[in-house]
């Protein structure tokens, strides 16, 4: 089973916690740069120098951001000093996810089903400057009705500088909208990607029973394919040896 691959981008809101969202016809997220990449702000240096701004500075940056954005996903500064806006997150998941299903088990608990989300699916979230990376991850999983433990996933930032692409994991307490504001609306300068945690060691306890069973099926399939490949290789060797023996034993 796979998720509907026509879902190229989505919209949801952390501000309103709404269950309604829509999918647009956009199919490209990381567009290729046209011509020479313009000199843009270095997000890392910006964060090292400044992590907080005055209300006037925030308003200036928001006005500059809104003047540069090419869509209607603009930022707004509220009277409280909190600003809201949009971030796009590409789903780049290699393993199946457990999706909440409508069927119920004998004990009354909702049964989950294992799905593969197509890589490249994009969701647009409406968030505030107070929302953290952890909250964004939880909102994405909720929007796709994923029942997995949020700790299994991490949000990465992808930056392009001097024709080189850099990917860095974000801490749970970082504020994605602040990074978006500092970097500007250009997705080549900064974009967000949701991936599995790269810990170097698989935490099997974090997976559900349907996921583990699906992994076993994949392993069984790969094992059978390897067996068949080995058998074919030895059959070819055996055939060549038999042909060589027949050639040596035949009269000249």
pLDDT at 64: 95
Asked if residues 152 and 202 have their Cβ atoms less than 8 Å apart, the reply is: no
C-alpha to C-alpha distance for 139 and 119, rounded to whole angstroms: 18
pLDDT at 65: 95
Question: Do 232 and 121 reside in the same domain of the chain?
Answer: no
Q: Which helix (H) or strand (E) holds 57?
A: helix 55-68
Which of 63, 69, 97, 103 shows the shortest CA–CA distance to 83? 63
pLDDT tens digits, residue range 54-74? 889 999 999 999 999 988 889
The yes-or-no verdict on residue 231 having pLDDT over 60 is yes
Domains contained in the chain, number = 2
Asked, for residue 142, whether it belongs to a domain, the answer is: yes
C-alpha to C-alpha distance for 204 and 35, rounded to whole angstroms: 46
Question: Do 131 and 189 reside in the same domain of the chain?
Answer: yes
CATH of the domain at 116: 3.10.20.90
Question: Do 137 and 181 reside in the same domain of the chain?
Answer: yes
The yes-or-no verdict on residue 165 having pLDDT over 80 is yes
C-alpha to C-alpha distance for 246 and 252, rounded to whole angstroms: 12
The yes-or-no verdict on residue 221 having pLDDT over 80 is yes
The residue that leads in pLDDT, 8 or 48, is 48
The residue that leads in pLDDT, 57 or 147, is 57
Question: Do 122 and 214 reside in the same domain of the chain?
Answer: no
Question: Do 76 and 163 reside in the same domain of the chain?
Answer: yes
C-alpha to C-alpha distance for 67 and 243, rounded to whole angstroms: 76
Q: What is the DSSP letter of 23?
A: B
Asked if residues 94 and 82 have their Cβ atoms less than 8 Å apart, the reply is: no
Asked, for residue 190, whether it belongs to a domain, the answer is: yes
pTM over 0.75: no
Asked, for residue 49, whether it belongs to a domain, the answer is: no
Question: Do 123 and 80 reside in the same domain of the chain?
Answer: yes
Q: Which residues contact 168 (CB under 8 A, 6 or more apart)?
A: 156, 157, 159
Q: Which domain range does residue 212 map to?
A: 207-239
Question: Do 127 and 176 reside in the same domain of the chain?
Answer: yes
């Amino acid at each position: 089973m796979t998720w509907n691959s026509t879902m190229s981008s989505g919209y949801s809101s952390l501000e309103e916690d709404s269950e309604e969202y829509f999918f647009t016809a956009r199919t490209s997220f990381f567009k290729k740069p046209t011509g020479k990449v313009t000199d843009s702000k270095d997000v890392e240096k910006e964060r090292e120098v400044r992590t907080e701004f005055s209300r006037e500075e925030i308003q200036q940056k928001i006005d500059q951001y809104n003047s540069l954005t090419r869509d209607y996903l603009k930022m707004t500064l509220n009277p409280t000093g909190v600003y809201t806006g949009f971030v796009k997150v590409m789903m780049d998941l290699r393993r199946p996810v457990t999706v909440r299903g409508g069927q119920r088990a004998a004990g009354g608990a909702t049964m989950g089903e294992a799905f593969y989300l197509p890589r490249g699916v994009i969701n647009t979230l409406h968030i505030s400057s107070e929302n953290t990376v952890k909250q964004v991850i939880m909102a994405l999983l909720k929007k796709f009705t994923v029942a997995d433990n949020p700790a299994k996933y991490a949000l990465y930032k992808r930056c392009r500088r001097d024709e080189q692409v850099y990917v860095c994991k974000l801490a749970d307490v970082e504020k994605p909208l602040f990074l978006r504001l500092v970097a500007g609306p250009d997705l080549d300068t900064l974009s967000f990607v949701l991936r599995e945690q790269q810990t170097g060691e698989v935490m099997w306890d974090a997976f559900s029973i349907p996921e583990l069973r699906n992994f076993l099926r994949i392993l069984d399939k790969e094992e059978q394919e390897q067996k068949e490949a080995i058998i074919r290789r030895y059959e070819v060797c055996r055939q060549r040896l038999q042909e060589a023996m027949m050639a040596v034993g035949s009269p000249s």
